[in-house]
Chains A and B, each alone.
Chain A
């Protein structure tokens, strides 16, 4: 079952690459666009390039740090707002206004305000990753089964006990989903900040240097790796979610995808 799915995926990816190869080799020749075979060849060589490895290290460090800080800020905030309805109503308009602001657009402002380059990048990542985690935590807190809460209260448990025994475990799968979505957003912002602001090392910095040297193949190969890293992060976090919250998938009947 899983094998067949993997095979179909592989066939799809291969077909896509072959199509790209044919279109570029015979249709867009002379545009300076390297075909997938060249990009994949360069991508395969990249793990031996110390510049690129330093770049991946720098990008992933900012990414992890930003995601960690965003989680540490957004989860308690989401729980607090979710537990205190009047507070949430007061803050919600601000949230709804700030959430859709394209985070990439605040990078120039961040450059001007935050002198330390790494701190600037991490701050931008934190800003962008807070929203998915916060909103998902809020949804999770709203989704708590009111009967479970009431029955616990009727047995004489206080608010804190209800929070710890019912609300938090019930909201946890939503929080995890929020973190997984934020991980993708954070990677986009980590690379975007490097593309816009430059820096000493980073996947985005590598793309900039490759571009200035007219190496479209290296630009695209580095971009390819950014995509791969994003996929790996998603797979790892999804597997973690499934292990931790298997009961949640059973309860809500989310189909295996």
Chain B
């Protein structure tokens, strides 16, 4: 009995040992195929918000654009660009989505981060100040002394509202801002926690159709027309340590961005797969654009506007924050 047990144990041990050596053996071909592409790192973790902005990451995965580059990309859900910053700093993520306002705020405090690819640019009616249908507010000037709900204080939403206030002859300090997550914003306005809110998709469409909200202003006009919203970032250290991996990521993402910007259907079929936006909503929501090139001049507009509205203490030369695609 005990002898049989011992035999079994030995057999099991041998099997485990074989399985282990088998595993390490099968790892080798994978490594060498990666070597042939010359990438320093073939498997990377990339943080993204579950929103339409990030569609190119999922498109590049599904269409095999990363695979063609010898890259395995594991998407990780993040909770915001500012929240993802410590995650790329600690190494939990290799690359993450970020919004440009958060990025330049971080750069101004000395964070060593690089923008490596563009992600999303605002289009008309993608960042709207919304009010209930029966609200007495008719124009942006009426917001004086009122509370405007935003998903993040001192960030892109407040900046967007500030540019509209300026047109109406008001300052950022003429309204009160309060932070509220986007999913709860509509209900919070209805229950009187604020008079208006800065909403993005799919919440603009949802509050319009379900709660009868109306648009008070489209903030992506005037100074913020075609405003660059989101990009992909990595730490300076990561960018210089893995230049080929970085270049491979840039090529694949750029290809996916081109696909997204040329074919809305691709976005609509992709959205229900990585977000909880259903196919019907995906077909009606307003989308921005998906630039395939990280253009310093366009991004400089963000930094300059932040300086003008006091979000930055000093000017930032955006060129120095960009890790340009290498020619290799």
Contact = CB atoms under 8 A, between A and B. Distances in A.
B90 A198 contact: no
A113 interface: yes
A156 interface: no
Contacts of A31: 186-187, 190-191, 211
B79 A208 contact: yes
B262 interface: no
A197 interface: yes
Contact of A212 (B49, B74, B87, B207): B49
B76 interface: yes
Interface in B210-247: 210-212
Given A32-B210, A212-B49, A216-B183, A111 B90 contact: yes
Contacts of A32: 186-187, 190, 206-207, 210-211
Interface residues of A, number: 31
Given A209-B276, A212-B50, A212-B51, A117 B186 contact: no
B38 interface: no
A37 interface: no
A195 B275 CA distance: 16
B182 interface: yes
Interface in B182-209: 182-183, 186-187, 190-191, 202-203, 206-207
Interface residues of B, number: 37
A57 to B, nearest CB: 16
Interface string A206-247: 001111111110110000000000000000000000000000
A205 B77 contact: yes
Contacts of B18: none
Contacts of A198: 47, 76-79, 83-84
A85 interface: no
A200 to B, nearest CB: 5
Contacts of A212: 49-51, 182-183, 275-276
Contacts of B76: 117, 198-200
B50 A195 contact: no
Interface in B76-112: 76-79, 83-84, 86-87, 89-92
B182 A112 contact: no
Interface string A155-179: 0000000000000000000000000
Contacts of A200: 74-77
B77 A112 contact: no
Contact of A117 (B50, B92, B212): B92
A51 to B, nearest CB: 9
Contacts of B90: 111-115
B77 A208 contact: yes
Nearest to B189: A31
A198 B80 CA distance: 9
A33 interface: yes
A208 B48 CA distance: 12
A253 B145 CA distance: 62
B77 A211 contact: no
A117 B96 CA distance: 14
Interface in B242-295: 274-277, 281
A205 B275 CA distance: 11
A140 B90 CA distance: 40
A215 B202 CA distance: 10
B205 to A, nearest CB: 8
26 contacts: A30-B211, A31-B190, A32-B187, A32-B206, A33-B187, A111-B87, A112-B86, A114-B90, A115-B92, A196-B83, A197-B83, A198-B79, A198-B83, A199-B77, A200-B75, A208-B50, A209-B275, A209-B276, A211-B181, A211-B182, A212-B50, A212-B183, A213-B202, A214-B183, A214-B281, A219-B183
Q: Which 3 A-B pairs have the closest CB atoms?
A: A213-B276, A115-B91, A211-B183
Interface of B: 47, 49-51, 74-79, 83-84, 86-87, 89-92, 181-183, 186-187, 190-191, 202-203, 206-207, 210-212, 274-277, 281
Given A115-B92, A208-B79, A210-B276, 10 more contacts: A31-B190, A111-B83, A113-B90, A114-B92, A117-B76, A196-B79, A198-B84, A211-B182, A213-B276, A216-B183
